[in-house]
Amino acid sequence: MNDATDRAPAGEAWPFQEARKILARLARRPKKEVFFETGYGPSGLPHIGTFGEVQRVSMVRQAFRDLAPEIATRLVAFSDDMDGLRKVPGNIPNQAMVAQHLGKPLTSIPDPFGKYESFGHHNNAMLRDFLDRFGIEYEFRSATDQYKRGVFDATLLKVLERHDEIAAVVLPTLGAERKETYSPILPISPKSGRVLQVPLVERKVDAGTVVFRDEDGTLTEVPVTGGHVKMQWKCDWAMRWAAFDVDFEMSGKDLIDSVKLSSQIVRVLGGEPPIAPIVELFLDEKGEKISKSRGNGLTIEEWLKYASTESLGMFMFHAPQRAKKLYFDVIPKNFDDYLGQLAAYREQDANARKQNPVWFIHQGKPPAEDVPVTFGLLLNLVAAANTDDPKVLWGFVSRYAPNATPEANPILDSMVGYAIRYYLDFVLPDKKHRAPTDLERAALEDLVKTLAALPAGADAEAIQNQVYEVGKRHGFTSLRDWFKAMYETLFGQSAGPRMGSFIALYGVPETIALVRRALAGELVGEAV
RNA sequence: GGGCGCGUAGCUCAGUGGUAGAGCGGCAGACUUUUAAUCUGUAGGUCCCGGGUUCGAACCCCGGCGCGCUCACCA
């Protein structure tokens, strides 16, 4: 139907390669709309892997829209909020209350935070807030809602009908103990509300019901439709694939076996598995898996504190099938890679642009801003300039890029903000002001007088000369020591900016005040 | 045990069949009447090993070696 599937140029960006697989799937199963799914477990808050998955899927969607603009697409963020709670998370309030509801669907447990209709609703809200921050276009669906509204009913009845075939697929993968009680259908107790992992006593295909022993031992019959049962999770996944006819869903390497199993199950249900690429996991600095509970690696909040969403997108774009270390040092590199690609984009033709990461990151519409300095340079600059004031930092930036302004260069302006946060968190804590020696004290007092005597509007060069003269007058063996003394007593660092430029930007009266504070001993021990 | 990934400069890594690269670090220099920054130049590789395919292989195939992750209970 579409010869696009036949031309997959070597070296083409991976989202296009995935999109072509979707086109091939469509050729086998023609339909009007393509369904992209990302799934979310109920436990825990969104993390960097969550973001990576949804952003990467968006990139494939972007490529697909380019290949087949006539076909509608839908990206569904699906929350498995009907899952029974197994253990109480350690990071929530009201643990005792939640503990009373173990085994129940998350949407049947009161919100321990007291804000939402249920714990599940709370987690869903967190997830949506999270996704909304990135401007990613998606549609949210709740498992509880979909089960109850009967969206899955037809497929659930098919599961009931083909129960034994599904069990035959799953059983060989289970341990001996679990085999005894296994059923892909988990009834929800009408009495306790808990999701039960119990053997089914009877399956009534015609009636669409199952019979099981409830927790109190009484034989109970419930329909498989309308949210009275929940599917065991691998089957749940497969059932969803079948019910929605999902075309594309990515997953981490830890789910390789689950993808295989669910693919088999979806075939039993008469469906076809989606294109389901496996991506590698994120590793920390030492090459170990990033885990929320261990708190290693980098969180998404940390990344976004020091760099932009787009730079994170750059990280996510590159080689998803490769394990990547995610720790602080990779941020500047990805930021600068992003800026480099953004600059290159403007010079590229239409074909080259579609291989450029920024085309995917910005959904085909990257900004046109010219960013004259790199993030790496800014990080150096902010440490050298020794300031947390954006105006001062901008002053230094202007020396490199005379025409840049915060208004005309919003990306650069945001970089200034990120650099300052970096300064506050990494540079400032290491600052240690020391008291001046007698020699230095005399020179600093001289500096105050000299600066005060300067004509109004003295430029950086003139100030620099005067600072230098002060050093000469006070017999430093090397003038290097004089400047070093100023950095150590005024800034708490052994290195600093060119003094003339700094004073011109920072202000002569302000500098005098700073020196006086150093002389009075007010800076010693500050900002540790 | 199964699966997946990785192995390229001192470090971190790009590089999917066509002259081995970048950043950082090193060294030398320029500029700045300090430093940092900036700029220029430069050194540094058995592309893990062995075979194969090819006119041509870091890249594709086969076989090794090494490192790491992951699954096997639950989701």
CA distance A45 to A36: 22
Least confident of A85-94, A196-205, A342-351, A393-402: A393-402
Evaluate if the CB of A319 falls below 7 Å from strand B.
Answer: yes
Q: Which CATH architecture has domain A438-519?
A: Orthogonal Bundle (1.10)
For the CA of A273 and the C1' of B74, the distance in angstroms is 23
What DSSP state is assigned to residue A94? Answer: -
ipTM confidence: 0.81
Nearest to A40 by CA among A30, A31, A49, A28: A49
Contact, A513 CB vs strand B, < 7 Å: no
Report the C-alpha gap between A416 and A377 in whole angstroms. Answer: 11
Query: Which tens digit of pLDDT belongs to each residue from A424-452?
Result: 877 666 666 778 888 888 888 888 888 88
Question: A86: which nucleotide lies closest, measuring CA to C1'?
Answer: B74
pLDDT band at A1 (very low <50, low <70, confident <90, very high): very low
Q: Taking each helix axis from N to C terminus, what angle separates A508-519 and A499-506, rounded to the nearest 10 degrees?
A: 110
Half-sphere exposure of residue A147: CA atoms within 13 angstroms, side-chain side: 25
Average pLDDT over residues A412-416: 89
Angle ∠(A100,A200,A223) on CA atoms, nearest 5: 80
CA atom of A321 to C1′ atom of B51, Å: 28
Rounded to the nearest 5 percent, the helix, strand and coil shares of chain A are 50, 10, 40
C1' of B66 to CA of A326 (Å) = 24
Q: Which two tokens stand for residue A396?
A: 């230094």
Question: pTM above 0.90?
Answer: no
Give the pLDDT score at A44: 64
Asked if the Cβ of residue A172 lies within 7 A of any atom of strand B, the reply is no
The separation, in Å, between residue A95 CA and nucleotide B19 C1' comes to: 66
Closest by CA to A56, choosing from A380, A341, A277, A302, is: A277
Nucleic chain B contacts, protein chain A, residues 222-241, CB cut-off 7 A: 232-234, 236
- Model confidence over A204-218: pLDDT tens digits? 999 999 999 999 999
Q: What is the pLDDT of residues A35-61, one digit of tens each?
A: 999 988 766 667 777 888 889 999 999
CA distances A231 to A155, A225, A238, A260, Å, are: 11, 11, 10, 17
Nucleotides of B under 7 A from a protein CB: 2-6, 12-17, 23-24, 32-38, 68-75
Query: Which residues of A spanning 178-197 put their CB closer than 7 angstroms to strand B?
Result: 178, 197
Phi, psi of A27 (to 5 degrees): -65, -30
